[in-house]
Each structure stands twice: as C-alpha cells, then as structure tokens.
C-alpha cells in the first residue's frame, strides 16, 4: 500500500477534521502486534495486515506524530548531485519530453552547456521535477516550430533544433537563479553558511551591521527560536573573548566611546536574507559568529568558504545534521572550501566522490579554528595603504558619529 500525496503521510495525518481518526487508524494498522486482526469500521470485517508492506512519503519528519514515527522504518533519500541530474535529464527527461510533445526523436539536440545552464540557472531543487517541467517548456517551443513546418507543407525535412545557451535564453527568459556568492561577500560582516531544508541543502547568508546606540540587538529574517538562541550564544562568546579578537580601531575610537563598555554603546543588526522564508535550527552558530567577528575586526570573510556547525558558549563547535545535502549545495554554488564540525568527519562517507574531490574540507573543534580559516589574513600595511586606511578610518568615524 502506498500513501501518495503532496507530502504523503504528513498530509494524510493532518487532514482537516479527520486528523485524529487517521492517526488512530494508522497506529493500529502499522503496529505489528495488532494489525493481524485489523477491523475496518466501514465494513466491520477483520483483515490480516501483518503481511502488507506500507510505503509512505514525507518531506518533513518533524511534523509526524512521534508515536506514529516510532512504527516506521525511515529511509532518507538525499538530493541529486549535478552529475546525477545531468545524466537523468540526458537519458530520460529530454527523450520523455520530446515524445510527450509529439516531436520526432531527433528533432531536438540540447548541448552540454545548455543542459548545464538549465540545471544551474533555471531550477533550484533536490530532485528533478522542476527540471522536467523546464525541459518540457523547451520542447513545447520547438513543437510550435514543428507544427508550423507541417502546416507549410514543405518538402524539406524538419531541421534539428540545436538548443544552445542563446536559444535557452530566448525560450526561457532570463535566468531564474544565479550563484552570487562572490558578489555577496564584498564587505566585512557577511558570511556564507549552509542550511538543510526539506528540498535539500541551500546557501544561507548572514549579514551584520553596527551603529552607535544603547546595546540593542536587532535580529531580522523570520527566524525560529533556536536560531535566535544561536545569535545570542554567538554574541555571548564574542563578549567573553572581546579582548582577544582584535577589534577594529574604527569602532574603539568612536567619539564618546568607552572601549571597556563597548557593547552597551552600540547597536548590532543581524539579518538573514530571503526574509519571506522561515529559518530555524542550530547549525548557523559558526556562520553568525564569523559574520560578527568579521564586522568587528574589519576583516572580510573569504568568498570561497562556506560553513555549518553549532557553537557553545565556550566556543566549542558541535556536530549538526544534513552534511551531505549541505555539501552538495556548496559544490553546486562553486564553493571549494567547507568548514565542518570535527565530529561530523564520519559523515564524509555519504558524500559523492565527484563532490569530495572538488572540495577542501576543514574540520574544526573550536570556533577559533573556524575564524582562522574563514577570515582573510591581514596584510602588512604599506605607506600607501596606511594613508588610505587612515582616510577610511576618519570617514567611518565621521559617519558613525552622526548616527
């Protein structure tokens, strides 16, 4: 028996008005000590379900009742890598779309570059459902040309349409998604994290800013309670290690600024872009800490580095889940250095070889190791750089003193 729904067993359990009834029935049906004599309440006839295999799907385990989840054997199916998507599209999705749109088998030839662009720039998913729809859109555009050719009653055979990047842009319009990691990490105070979602891994940015104030901490981006606690934990660690972090002189020399009472005289704003999407979980702890230290020390985060991991108040980097999905997301975005908790090293066995060979993994047990890898090194200043730094410092002081 197969539960087929948008979110499978979750929707089956949460159906409006019948949720409790379904839950009780499922608990009885899936319990091997009871389902050998299950009685249907409509027919009032007992059934032996002990030999029946029930298969259900779900996008989120968190919403399934614990008692019900305890009766299930959970098989986690991770998202596809780029190479896997490419092979599926080339071998299955393209021929299927050609056939479904009534085109001859050799009427379309999608170039390698165009298919790669379709995967990277027009879809963003763990599976290939959206990719199949996009390929069907391309085939429908070609089908129009094919029908016009048939209507013209031309004696010439229909010429194969070679789908290139130019034709792709003509058929699908501007790219729906772009990898803008390097464009986003251009100033201190911004870091790149890795998040797990029900649709696979994704890139998560953390942006921070500072201004004169009264010690207010502003957090935006539709965060859950766990993520807000990660922000407070990161700030707590930074406060306890304030003297060892090398805080920028631009901040310590503000007018009327008491360096010993720094955090009571500034306001810090921490923002998570894509504010319309809810975010929660502890794995952004190291990302938040890195963004804040980058802001306070005026050292830019390396744009080729992404990270994930929970931190404690003592700066210990704790293990998190979803390592495979997060690593695949980093690889897809072109990131080549990933910082992971040291205790997650065992999870590398789950990562595909084509992903592992392109990524340099750095395993950290303490947040200081994360900062050492993620923050760009300070160069020895030349006289010209010292003059430019002095000018920038004065501009920053004037700007911040007016806030």
pLDDT in tens, 369-387: 999 999 988 765 555 555 5
Most confident option among 25-39, 177-191, 344-358: 344-358
Closest-CA residue to 13 (of 78, 51, 69, 54): 69
* Distance from C-alpha of 93 to C-alpha of 127, rounded to nearest angstrom: 12
* Distance from C-alpha of 253 to C-alpha of 297, rounded to nearest angstrom: 13
Q: Are 362 and 337 in contact (CB under 8 A)?
A: yes
**DSSP at 330:** H
For strands 266-271 and 217-220, give the pairing: parallel
Q: How confident is the model at residue 392 (pLDDT cuts 50, 70, 90)?
A: low
* Distance from C-alpha of 96 to C-alpha of 90, rounded to nearest angstrom: 10
In the annotation, is 283 catalytic?
Answer: yes
What confidence score (pLDDT) does residue 250 get? 60
Question: In angstroms, how far is CA 150 from the centroid of its own chain?
Answer: 46
Question: 5 versus 111: which is more confidently predicted?
Answer: 111
Q: What percent of the chain has pLDDT over 70?
A: 82
For the chain, what's the residue count?
Answer: 403
What confidence score (pLDDT) does residue 17 get? 47
Question: In angstroms, how far is CA 28 from the centroid of its own chain?
Answer: 37
Q: Is the pLDDT assigned to residue 3 strictly greater than 60?
A: no
What confidence score (pLDDT) does residue 318 get? 95
Coil, strand or helix at 36: helix
What confidence score (pLDDT) does residue 155 get? 79
Closest-CA residue to 368 (of 250, 245, 255): 245
Q: Is the pLDDT assigned to residue 75 strictly greater than 70?
A: yes
What confidence score (pLDDT) does residue 6 get? 43
Tens-place pLDDT, residues 210-246: 888 888 999 998 888 899 999 999 999 998 888 888 7
Q: How confident is the model at residue 19 (pLDDT cuts 50, 70, 90)?
A: low
Q: How confident is the model at residue 259 (pLDDT cuts 50, 70, 90)?
A: low
Q: Are 1 and 29 in contact (CB under 8 A)?
A: no
Q: Is the pLDDT assigned to residue 292 strictly greater than 60?
A: yes
What confidence score (pLDDT) does residue 4 get? 47
* Distance from C-alpha of 349 to C-alpha of 355, rounded to nearest angstrom: 11
What confidence score (pLDDT) does residue 33 get? 77
* Distance from C-alpha of 170 to C-alpha of 137, rounded to nearest angstrom: 12
**DSSP at 264:** G
Name beta bridge partners: 205: 192
* Distance from C-alpha of 352 to C-alpha of 354, rounded to nearest angstrom: 6
Q: Is the pLDDT assigned to residue 324 strictly greater than 70?
A: yes
Residue 145 Cα distances to 152, 153, 215, 281, angstroms:
11, 13, 64, 49
Q: Which of 136, 230, 283, 303 is catalytic?
A: 283
What confidence score (pLDDT) does residue 179 get? 67
Name beta bridge partners: 3: 56
């Amino acid at each position: 028996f197969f539960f087929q729904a948008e979110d499978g067993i979750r929707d089956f359990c949460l159906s409006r008005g019948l949720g409790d009834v379904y839950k009780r029935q499922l608990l009885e049906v899936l319990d091997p000590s009871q389902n050998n004599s299950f009685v249907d309440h409509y027919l009032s006839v007992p059934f032996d379900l002990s030999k029946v295999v029930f298969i259900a799907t779900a996008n989120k385990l968190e919403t399934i009742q614990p008692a019900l989840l305890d009766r299930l054997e959970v098989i986690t199916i991770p998202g596809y890598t780029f190479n896997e998507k490419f092979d599926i599209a080339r071998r299955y999705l393209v021929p299927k779309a050609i056939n479904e749109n009534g085109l001859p088998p050799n009427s379309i030839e999608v170039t390698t570059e165009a298919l790669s662009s379709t995967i990277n720039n027009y879809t963003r998913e763990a599976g290939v459902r959206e990719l199949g729809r996009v390929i069907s859109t391309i085939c429908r555009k070609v089908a129009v040309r094919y029908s016009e050719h048939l209507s013209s009653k031309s004696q010439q055979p229909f010429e194969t349409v070679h789908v290139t990047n130019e034709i792709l842009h003509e058929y699908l319009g501007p790219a729906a998604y772009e990898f803008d990691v390097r464009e986003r990490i251009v100033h201190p105070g911004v870091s790149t994290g890795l998040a797990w979602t029900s649709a696979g891994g994704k890139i998560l940015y953390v942006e921070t800013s500072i201004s004169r104030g009264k010690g207010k901490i502003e957090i935006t981006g539709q965060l859950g309670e766990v993520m807000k606690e990660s922000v407070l934990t990161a700030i707590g660690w930074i406060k306890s290690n304030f003297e060892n972090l090398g805080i920028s002189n631009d901040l310590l020399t503000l007018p009327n600024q008491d360096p010993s009472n720094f955090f009571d005289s500034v306001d810090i704003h921490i923002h998570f872009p894509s504010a319309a999407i809810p975010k929660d979980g502890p794995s952004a702890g190291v990302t938040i800490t890195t963004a804040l230290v980058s802001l306070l020390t005026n050292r830019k985060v390396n744009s080729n580095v992404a990270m994930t991991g929970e931190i404690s108040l003592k700066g210990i980097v704790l293990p998190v889940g979803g390592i495979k999905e997060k690593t695949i997301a980093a690889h897809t975005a072109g990131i080549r250095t990933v910082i992971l908790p040291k205790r997650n090293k065992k999870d590398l066995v789950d990562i595909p070889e084509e992903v592992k060979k392109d990524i340099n993994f750095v395993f950290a047990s303490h947040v200081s190791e994360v900062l050492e890898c993620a923050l760009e090194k300070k160069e020895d200043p030349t006289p010209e750089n010292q003059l430019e730094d002095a000018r920038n410092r004065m501009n920053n002081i004037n700007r911040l003193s007016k806030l």
